[in-house]
Each structure stands twice: as structure tokens, then as C-alpha cells.
Amino acid sequence: MSTSESIQMAGMGDGTSRTCPLPEPEEHQHQPAEHQHQDAVAAPLPQLMNLARYHTQPALTIRTEEPPPLQRVRTVSRSDSTRDRRFDHFKTFSGRLERQLSNLRGVAVDIEPAAADSNSNKMISEEETDDGGGGREVPTADRYFAALEGPELETLRPTEVSVLPEDETWPFLLRFPINAFGMCLGVSSQAMLWKTLQSEPSMAFLHVSPAVNNALWWVSTSLMALISFIYLLKVVFYFEAVRREFHHPIRVNFFFAPWIACLFLVKGMPYPVTDINHVVWYILMAPILFLDLKIYGQWMSGGDRRLSKVATPTNHLAVVGNFVGALLGAKMGLREVPIFFFAVGVVHYLVLFVTLYQRLPTNAQLPKELHPVFFLFIAAPSVASVGWARLCGEFNYAAKILLLHLLFLYMSLVVRINMFRGVRFSLAWWAYTFPMTSVAIATAVYASAVTNVLTRAMAVGLSGVATVTVAGVLVTTVYRAFVRKDLFPNDVSIAVTQRPKAKFGKILAHIRASGDGVKDLVFAVSRHGGSSGSDTNSASESPSPMARGRRRAEP
């Protein structure tokens, strides 16, 4: 059965398409007039290649004139041969699942990269693959500190090369960080605050409606479900990125945030907590226990993740979970196990507090963008004071000591208001919300134990400040996410190479493979002034292989 196939070139730039039949072999030249007319107007193959040259990433559509049951259309995308495969190192399936689905649909065919690709691009790609985790290894803590800078080690240093492409926007899941759960902490703690204002005897004069707690709880639950679903997709499709976040010296603390937020949601439920089955508490505290064993063990055993080296205010998240669990367990009627978590939290909070006060890692001031997380200093003692009061059944002296201690820390931060001016917005702003809400809850409980005008006024004032702060940060977050669309930039903190690799090495590899001269090398070095001094000195002392070849050729 004779078939005729045509190639349709779909231009991506101007949206037009031109169809040119393939030239017929000599044995098929004796055909009807319509076929001869088609051969007469057909463009020769060189002209066809010139025509395709002016279109970016054309698509080849091969149509076969066969009976309808056997007719098929295959689309071969030229972009498949030149697409950036560096994202595959972070994909759970390394792109294999996508190819299998495409083959099952029969609409796409993967073709091998063109043989005309330059050796320089291949060399750079292979080097980045080797450094980017081809062996499924993650960078060490020292490597994170050496390659990253910024308030939360989220910015790549100018002398470093990213594993992923820096000149394009990454997939959304790769840009969605674990610290997005900070939003859940802030909103869910508000549901717990308004339930406290509704139930505490000292706040009865406010006449808080239960509808406020119900609305905030459902909003918090919806936000928690949305963020959890998105991050679960990241775990499924980009597990390597999640793995790198878990080994990040600062990001690892935010893995406590989902479970703390869930504890807040259980504590802030519209109906009494005593009606909840104890199994729920054990399920939520099991991940916190696992993370405690992992993180506290690293703090104690030393190495590149010892506490004196990785200590930042975000480490308080690794302590707060124990106090929140003890508070909820005591409200649910448990006794011994909540005391165990409270004891673990108190001991490690004291060690962390002293370490942060001394600033042992660098003795340097925290970056300005990280100043909001100073409020995490008051998160642990505020939850601990209420937790100890629930365990003992009364707001005794130990609980009062913790409360008065956090009030002093709170005032010491408020009087330094200039320290928080001009801070660029980021997800770190949610560090304001959760601790301030915890202080308001602690003062409301304290007002029930020590009832007077001062304690009530303090509880109402701190509750109002916490509510306004959460509302302002939430509105700003929505504005940056949906209007400016810059809330989730490329998360370069997970794109760190395993070994130090300066930009100069990348330029040198490109020039050596492309065959350019030494003058181009000097020009490239002058353009990339941010290169490390060690690489520059080594390049100036050691000539390139091309230069050595030229010297040998000279008489």
C-alpha cells in the first residue's frame, strides 16, 4: 500500500505553519496529474532547511494517508532534544514517568539530542550533574554555610554556581518551601487565642462569640489542608528537593511546624478537647519525638551540625513542639507522657537560650531580614508557662516565673523598634505572629489566676496587637502571592552543589571546549568579577591547554 507523508513545520515565533511534501523517489514519478502538480510546487530539501531555520523550536507533524482505523498523527517536539534536564535530578521519577505516560498516549516521541550540540554545553552539563546530586548525596552543613548567605541561608553567594538554571522560573513545587507552614502556625494560633478569650473567666466581660472561633478554625483548617496538599505533591514529585531542605541547617527546624500547627488546630477546636480520643495526641506527637531524637542528637554529638554552629532563633521551633504537646496532653487528661515532653523541652530550651545569647557560631549580628525571628525567643516560655499551669492544675510560681521572663523579653524587643524597620517582606514575617499570639494566650490565662485591672488590660492589649499583626501579615502575603506574584521566588537554597564550584570554573570549561582564545578568557574573567580569588589566581598562574599548544608551536 503506497502512502505519502508530509512534514508540517509549525513556527513558534509567528504562529504560522507551512506544509511541504517530501520529494518522491524515482520509482514513483509516474503518477496522476495531481501528484505531478504537487511535485512541481514542492520545495527542495535545502530550501526546506532554510525555511525551518527562521522558526524557533519547530514541531514535526507526520501524517500518513491510511485507512481511518490505522491513521495516526505523531508530534515530535524539537524542544525535547534541547530541554534543560537539570530538573531531573530533583524529580522523584527522574522524568521516566512522564515519558511512559507520553508513550501510552502515543502523542509524543522522545528523540535523542542533536549531534550538533557543542562539546562545551555537554561538558558544563556533565559537571553540573556530577555536582548536583547525581549520586543522590546532599551537601553537608558546612557546604550550606559556605555557599549560601542571607537571613535564612536562602541566597546563593556570587561566587557559587546553582545546580538548577538561574535564568528561568522553576516549577512551582520546587519553589514552594517548607517554611510556608509558618502561615499555618500564625492563623491556627489565632483560633486558639479566640477560644481562650471565650472560655477564660477573666475575659468574660468581652462577650466573645463562639462564631469567631468557629470561623477562624475553619479558615485555619482549610489553609493547613491546602499547604499540606501542595507540599505533599512536592514530596511525591520532587523528593530530592525535600531531602535537601531536611538537611538545610535552618530549614530543618520548620519540619516541626506542620505538627505544631496540627496541635494548635486540635487545641482550638470549637468543642471541648476532652472529647477527643487520646490516639490523636499520640499520632501527632510521634513525628515530634522522631525529630527530637534526630535534631537534639545532632546538637549533642557534635560535628558540622552541633548547636554552637547552627544555632539561630528558628531553632526555637524544635523546642516549642514539646511544650505545645505537653499543654494539649494535659488538657486531654494525660499526665506522665506530657511531663516527659515538657522535661525534654525545658532542658533543651535552656541550652539553646544560653547558646543564642552568647552567639557562639560567629559572634556576629543577625542579618536585618532575620530580625523578625527574634520574636521566637518569647514563643517557648509563653507556651511553657501555660503548659506547666495545665499540668499542675494551677498557675503556680514556676508558671509565673516563665511568664514574667517572657514579658521582659517581649518588652526588650518592643523598645528596639528601629531594629525591625525597613525589613524586606518574606515568609519570615510570620515569625511575628505565632509568638505574639502565644504571649496573648499566656497573659489571658494569667489574668484568670491573678485577676485585676492591669492583668486584664494587658491580656486585651496583647490580644489586639497579635490579631492586628496576623491580619496585616496575611493581607501582605496574599498581595505578594496573587498581585505581585513574587512570594515564591526560585529556592536556590536547595540548588547547592556538593563541592565548591566557582563561576570561573564554568567559564573556563566552556572556553576550553569551544576553542576560543586566551583573550576571550581574560574578557570573561573581567566580566565575572565576582569569581573567587583562588580560581582567578590559579588561572593566571597556569595557562590554558590551548596557550601551551601555541607556545610549543612557536620556533
Instruction: Copy the grid coordinates of residue 534.
Output: 583562588
Give me the half-sphere count of Cα atoms (radius 13 Å) on the Cβ side of residue 225.
Answer: 6
Residues 246, 232: Cα–Cα separation, whole Å = 14
Cα 234-237-243 angle, rounded to 5 deg: 65
SS3 140: coil
Please answer whether residues 330 and 285 qualify as being in contact, where contact means their C-beta atoms are separated by less than 8 angstroms: no
pLDDT of residue 509: 56
Q: Beta strand 73-77 with 59-64: parallel, antiparallel or unpaired?
A: antiparallel
Percent of the chain scoring above 90 in pLDDT: 41
E-strand stretches of 11-69 = 17-21, 59-64
What's the average model confidence in pLDDT over 77-102? 59
In which residue are the cell numbers 494539649 written? 328
* CA of residue 265 relative to chain centroid, distance: 24
The model's pLDDT over 272-283, given as tens digits with 9 standing for 90+, comes to 888 899 999 999
Summarize the confidence of residues 188-216 as an average pLDDT: 93
Can you tell me the mean pLDDT for 217-234?
96
Closest CA to 203 of 2, 8, 493, 455: 455
| Exposed/middle/buried for residue 449 (C-beta within 10 Å: 0-12, 13-18, 19+) | middle
- Per residue in 123-135, pLDDT (tens digit) is 444 444 444 444 4
pTM of the complete model beyond 0.85: no
Q: End-to-end CA distance of the chain, in Å?
A: 68
More confidently predicted of 70 and 224 = 224
Lowest mean pLDDT among 383-387, 419-423, 530-534: 530-534
- pLDDT value for 193: 94
**pLDDT reported for residue 105:** 54
Say yes or no to pLDDT of 531 above 60. no
Confidence class of residue 118 from pLDDT cuts 50, 70 and 90?
A: very low
Write out pLDDT tens, residues 436-476.
Answer: 999 999 999 999 999 999 999 999 999 999 999 999 999 99
According to the model, what pLDDT value does residue 273 have?
85
For the ranges 147-151, 294-298, 488-492, which has the lowest average pLDDT?
Answer: 147-151
Query: What confidence score (pLDDT) does residue 78 get?
Result: 42
Distance between CA atoms of residues 16 and 11, nearest Å: 6
For residue 274, CA distances in Å to 210, 271, 277, 328 come to 18, 9, 8, 10
pLDDT at 102: 52
Cell of 287: 513525628
Q: Which tens digits make up the pLDDT trace of 16-38?
A: 444 444 444 444 444 544 444 44
- Under 8 Å CB-to-CB from 259, ≥6 apart: which residues? 284, 285, 287, 288, 321
- Does the pLDDT value for residue 56 go beyond 70? no
Mean pLDDT of the chain: 74
DSSP class per residue in 4-23: -EEEEEE-TTT--EEEEEPP
In the 8-state DSSP scheme, what is residue 415? T
Residue 6 CA, chain-centre distance (Å), reads 47
Model confidence at 357, pLDDT cuts 50, 70, 90, reads: confident
Count of C-beta atoms within a 10 Å radius of residue 114: 9
pLDDT-derived band at 300, boundaries 50, 70, 90: confident
Q: Of the ranges 149-163, 245-259, 417-431, which one carries the lowest mean pLDDT score?
A: 417-431
What lies within 8 Å, CB to CB, of 457 at 6+ separation is: none
Q: Which CATH architecture has domain 172-496?
A: Alpha/alpha barrel (1.50)
pLDDT at 42 over 50: no
pLDDT of 52 > 60? The answer is no
